[in-house]
Chains A and B, each alone.
Chain A
Amino acid sequence: MLKIAAYHSPTTLIEAAALLAEDGRTAIAGGTDLLVNPRYMVGVREVVDIRRLGLNYIRVENGWLYIGAGATMRTVAQRVELQGLANGILARGAAVCGSPNIRNMATLAGNIASALPSADTPPALLALDAEVVLVGMRGERVVPLDSFFVGPAKSVRERDLIRELRIPLAGSNALRGGFYKIGRTAEDISMVNAAATLKIQDGKISMARLVLGAVAPVPLRVSRAEEALVGQAATEETFQRVAEIVRDEVRPITDHRATAEYRRRISAVATVRALRQAAGLATPGEEWQHA
């Protein structure tokens, strides 16, 4: 039994934003993080259910893919629009979030709002240049996901509501992706995860994104590695070199899941494996896990 003084179930965004503008309130959708992790309930007395706002859409419009705040992980994992985008890296990230029951409840927006460094969807979203559309009393604002996360469980969201996430589709046909997760057991919170997107022209990498999870206070875009990829041939040698950069750039911690040293080491492995997938060089033997 949670100590909650009121449950609100608004039906319009304006109503929801107004409710959330008050102290001691938080938005709830799937509830799978919120209700089981006391850290999200500190100071919370009332909850605002956002599932009746009509936000459970995934749609393509004007060159953008929009994922509403109500869309569950399962929807994200199963929709063809997402399975076809950059080898389906976001769909695959969503498909390894928790268990099937959790994926039926948890939302993609909730995964972003929770802002945990080990989450499985932010790396793919960052690699796809996603943006977050926030709604508050002052109206709507669009924040690139790249500048959304501030620290563990901290973001620039404040009291705003995530209305949707959006991904630019321009040129996405040429986008190839990879995602690799390393957990302790088959179903686990990531010790390290990595997502990559590449555009390859005439054998050379023309664009690269490389993002790692659980190696820093926020999902880490490794710009130095991205720069090192561009202009290079998409080969094993290039990837190994980039992995060394990643090894230097990550700032992991030691916790009860893994030591910093181990995370640093496997961040290089996850990098290479994600890049190999993106370049179509992955060997099946590596693909034990969901990646």
Chain B
Amino acid sequence: MDNEYYEPGGGNIADAAHQHDRQVGRTRVVGQKKRRVDARPLVTGAPVYAAEFEQPNMLHARILHSPHAHATILHIDTSKALALAGVRAVLTHEDLPRVAHSTAGQPYPESSPYDAYLLDRRVRYVGDWVAFVAAETPAIAEEALSLITVEYELLPAVFDPMEAMRDGAPQLHEPDITHPNSGQHFGDIYDAAHNIAAHEVITYGDFDSAMSEADIVVEGEYSVPFISHTVLEPHVCVAYLDGYDRLIVVSSTQVPYHTRRQLAAVLQLPISRIRVVKPRVGGGFGSKQEMLLEPVAAALALKTRQPVRIEYSRQEEFTAGRFRHPVILRMRSGVRRDGTLLAISMHSIGNAGAYGTHSFTVTRSTGHKTLCLYRAKAYLFRADAVYTNLPITGAMRGYGAPQGFFALESHIDEIARRLNMDPLEFRRKNHVQKGDWDPMEMVEEEGVWRSKRQFRSCGLPQCLEKGAAAFGWGQPFERGDGKPIRRGHGMATAMQGSGVASFELGGASIKLNEDGSFNVMTGATDIGQGSDTILAQIAAEALGVDMDKIIMHSVDTDSSVFDYGSYASSTTYISGGGVKVAAELVQKQVLDVAGDLLDCAPEDMSIVDSVIYTPRGPSHLRVADIANETLYGKHRQQIMAKGDFWTDDSPAPFFAQFVEVEVDTETGRVRVTKAVNALDLGKAINPALASGQVEGAVAMALGYALSEEVKFDDQGRVRNAGFVDYKVMSTLDMPEMTTILVEDTEYTGPFGAKSAGEVPTNGMAPAVANAIQDALGVRIRSLPITPEKILQALDEL
């Protein structure tokens, strides 16, 4: 097929391919199912994680957690713990500076209120931190915890956000004005007296007027549960002082640079004294978009001047980690009888837990990231994030969108049913189109509404078409009418962003070695999603070399370029964009030297598979020759460049989810038997990694739909802090899955790519609820859809 570009006498196959590349932009590395660059250490059990990092004389830290949901610490006696042989330090709030901060791994200034202290006189949830211990062994540290006596004065606690907002409810936080954005849109606690951590309103168009045109108004209230990321590698880090008395922190984090900055603030150290190193990370999903254990290990290392290791237990992950915000969402929309959506509104009330990390942005995202999926004349979105005496909710894959899409996509299905329309048809009629402007980003300037964000690529029509065809949407199937096991079909659509518009910076520096290999030092954090591999493919492609010429270097804040970290589906688009810039600059440096040697204009030359090409074809020079020439020859220099990328944009990936469910009407058990996942990601830099992202996200979302929920007793204690009773999906729960990748080129992204990691978490839950409606004629508006809820709904039929 490449022969069309083969010119007899003009060169060889490689030359033809090269011509092809130039003419139609065919890629040689990008788009290939390359093996992960870290495959070998992962499959051999090599010690490459923070959990396995060791230092001589390393101490082990443990945290004393509050047994009370809300209390003031009157007195702490640590003398017995300190007297225990092997205990090296015990720290309480009396030993640490009281610095108001947010633990959210967000750019400065964080869009989260400053309401946290490393240790405080007051504890605000069962699991809150009371004291830190460092000892020679984990067992001694554990025993020391039991020797600390704490006298508490109990305070009234509140667990329900609706109650927490009432006058006279127990107040969790005092107002704080130390946030750099104090007095502005975000920064302060919105209404401390009513426990409202954050508040947001987004409107576009005249809602009441649009609603008055509606033939049908549909309303519904939905709720989504408190769930855990259940990262398999718990939060873990080691902190130590090196010979220069600098603080080195080796941590399992998604945000090394934000963590460095926040550590400096909390510990009152200059940033220059801190170095954060990120090895392989055993999963993040947002739970590590957070400074969590780093200051604990660091404070103890500074105190003892010995290396300190701390790792959360599984129990601690389930009680004192970070979680997905539970949200109550009220939807109200108006449509014309012909199926035109006129106005859409969402009011969401999110439970922030005891501290407001990510609360403003997550609750904002429930509407901001979702309502723009549909065209309408008017939009109304209101959100509150409310403090309660429960564990801390923060960032989690999808970041508010899974909550919002459960409500929105269930609601859209309900609207379509009211209209007797195929829900797929309703979506086709109303969904966003290529070229549309984002209604959630509208700003009124002198009477004119402008949007910051345009959807330049939109493969949703292809996702719907290909997904429906692969699934057999609309085809007859055995419904099991009159039998105990019934079947139904459901679908949902979704979108997300690629990075946070205007709030990103990512990239890499690239340096050439003598053998023609390149060190790619990126600030992007591979947390298992495979960004090191993706970025290596982008670098290889842009440089014109194969993958084996790329050496990836994980983040070390002393040597990597600055990067905001891995979250918000940003790595491929933002950091990948920066890597491509760096690679192009490095390639230009290589070609400048080559051009001089070959007497050819650099802009007419290229590199294919490490061979330098001129318009005449391949030259005798390879990249390694240029490296030698620059390191030992006449053109002496280190070929090296850095590339950055940031943008006010955040291109949207699109997703369509189709499912078949089986419902046992006697037990209420639901099983998803078939799933088709169709994702428009712009360009699959690595289709195997991209489909892996989709499959994992869909599995996670299936747990959200059916089984996952952190449950509390009436004292705010977690009742299911372990895998026995916090049920994630197993191999046996998974449906037969088909994943379709749609590539609607995003011209602002590297090689046309946008994002893939989060958007597939958004569709499964509403698709399952919609399929259950199809199977049984009942609507379940609260997650997880447990067997009991099914039977209750059937009883009410």
Contacts and interface: CB of A to CB of B under 8 A. Distances in A.
Is chain B in direct contact with chain A in the complex (CB below 8 A)? yes
B787 interface: yes
B732 A186 contact: yes
A18 to B, nearest CB: 30
Contacts of B788: 258-259, 262
A189 interface: yes
A186 B730 contact: yes
A266 B484 CA distance: 13
Contacts of B732: 185-187
Nearest to A272: B666
Nearest to B728: A185
A257 interface: yes
Interface string A17-53: 0000000000000000000000000000000000000
B791 A185 contact: no
Contacts of B485: 285-286, 288
A1 B666 contact: no
9 contacts: A184-B707, A189-B724, A191-B787, A256-B725, A262-B668, A262-B791, A265-B791, A286-B484, A288-B671
Contacts of B484: 285-286
A285 B727 contact: no
A106 B30 CA distance: 49
Interface in B344-391: none
Interface string B443-459: 00000000000000000
A232 to B, nearest CB: 22
A227 interface: no
A182 interface: yes
B662 interface: yes
Contacts of B215: none
Given A185-B730, A188-B727, A258-B788, A288 B662 contact: yes
A77 to B, nearest CB: 16
Contact of B787 (A1, A186, A262, A285): A262
Nearest to A285: B485
A89 interface: no
Contact of B733 (A186, A265, A285): A186
A234 B788 CA distance: 30
Nearest to B719: A256
Contacts of B667: 182, 266, 269
Contacts of B707: 184-185
Contacts of B138: 1
A185 B733 contact: yes
Given A182-B667, A269-B667, 11 more contacts: A1-B138, A1-B139, A182-B787, A185-B707, A185-B729, A186-B732, A187-B730, A188-B727, A189-B725, A256-B720, A269-B666
B481 to A, nearest CB: 13
Interface in A171-196: 182, 184-189, 191
B666 A257 contact: no
A259 B668 CA distance: 13
Interface string B509-534: 00000000000000000000000000
A76 B671 CA distance: 29
Contacts of A265: 791
Contacts of B720: 256
A163 to B, nearest CB: 29
Contact of B786 (A182, A184, A189): A184
Nearest to B139: A1
B723 to A, nearest CB: 10
A258 B668 CA distance: 12
Interface of B: 138-139, 480, 483-485, 662, 664, 666-669, 671, 706-707, 711, 719-720, 724-725, 727, 729-730, 732-733, 786-788, 791
Contacts of A182: 667, 669, 787
B415 to A, nearest CB: 31
Interface string A138-181: 00000000000000000000000000000000000000000000
Interface residues of A, number: 20
Interface string A189-208: 10100000000000000000
A262 B484 CA distance: 17
Nearest to B724: A189
A257 B706 CA distance: 13
Nearest to B713: A256
A262 B795 CA distance: 12
A126 B520 CA distance: 65
Contacts of A184: 707, 727, 786-787
Contacts of B730: 185-187
A187 B729 CA distance: 9
A191 B706 CA distance: 15
B470 to A, nearest CB: 24
A3 B732 CA distance: 36
A14 B664 CA distance: 52
Nearest to A257: B725
A127 B662 CA distance: 31
> Which of A185, A186, A286, A288 is packed against the most chain B CB atoms within 10 Å?
A185
A262 B719 CA distance: 19
A286 B724 CA distance: 25
A182 B790 CA distance: 15
Interface in A237-291: 256-259, 262, 265-266, 269, 285-286, 288
Contacts of A285: 480, 483-485
Contacts of B666: 266, 269
Nearest to A3: B139
Contacts of A188: 727
B139 A288 contact: no
A235 B725 CA distance: 37
Contact of A288 (B664, B706, B724): B664
A288 B732 CA distance: 10
Ranked nearest first, the 9 interchain pairs of A and B with the lowest CB-CB distance are A186-B732, A256-B719, A269-B666, A285-B485, A262-B788, A1-B139, A185-B727, A186-B733, A256-B711
A26 to B, nearest CB: 20
Contacts of A288: 485, 662, 664, 669, 671
B60 to A, nearest CB: 11
B483 to A, nearest CB: 7
A259 B711 CA distance: 13
B61 to A, nearest CB: 16
A286 to B, nearest CB: 7
A266 B787 CA distance: 10
Contacts of A269: 666-667
A286 B480 CA distance: 12
A265 B792 CA distance: 11
Contacts of B786: 184
> Which of B484, B669, B706, B725 is packed against the most chain A CB atoms within 10 Å?
B669
Nearest to A259: B788
A266 B786 CA distance: 13
A257 B719 CA distance: 10
Interface in A65-88: none
Nearest to A268: B666
Nearest to B480: A285
Contacts of B480: 285
A286 B671 CA distance: 12
A8 to B, nearest CB: 21
Contacts of B719: 256
Contacts of B668: 262, 266
A188 B786 CA distance: 14
Contacts of A266: 666-668, 787
Contacts of B671: 288
Nearest to B789: A262
Nearest to B795: A265
A79 B484 CA distance: 33
Contacts of B664: 286, 288
B112 to A, nearest CB: 31
Nearest to A288: B671
Nearest to A289: B669
Contacts of A258: 788
A286 B662 CA distance: 11
A191 to B, nearest CB: 8
Contacts of B724: 189
